[in-house]
Amino acid sequence: MKKNKINLEVNGDGDMAYLVLPNHPGMGKAGVAVRHVALRTIIENYQGPEIYLDFDSDGNMIGMEFFIGLKNINERKRGKC
């Protein structure tokens, strides 16, 4: 991805998306996001799709994951999406 650009990647079903921010080192690189913060953990009474903020090892936000219809990221990891 070109620096200073934002890119939105959506899966074929349209129920998951990833917003790649300008300082993301590149999709497909393992271990880039070392911290994931669920939006529901920082906004009281949040009612909406599951959104996770991804951070690199320096604490920079590098992307955002969006999941429609999932209760939490563990469902995705168990293959329920």
What would the pLDDT profile of 9-47 be if each residue is shown by its tens digit? 999 888 899 999 998 988 777 778 999 999 999 999 999
Which residue segment(s) compose the domain that 32 sits in? 7-77
Question: What percentage of the chain carries pLDDT values higher than 70?
Answer: 81
Give pTM, 2 decimals. 0.74
**Distance between CA atoms of residues 43 and 1, nearest Å:** 30
> Is residue 21 a part of any domain in this protein?
yes
Q: How far, rounded to the nearest angstrom, does the alpha carbon of residue 78 sit from its chain's CA centroid?
A: 17
> Is residue 56 a part of any domain in this protein?
yes
Residues forming beta bridges with residue 7, ordered by sequence position:
20
> Is residue 22 a part of any domain in this protein?
yes
Structural domain total, the chain: 1
How does pLDDT run across 16-26, given as a tens digit for each residue? 999 999 989 88
> Is residue 1 a part of any domain in this protein?
no
Per the rule left: phi > 0, alpha: psi between -120 and 50, beta: everything else, 23 is alpha
> Is residue 2 a part of any domain in this protein?
no
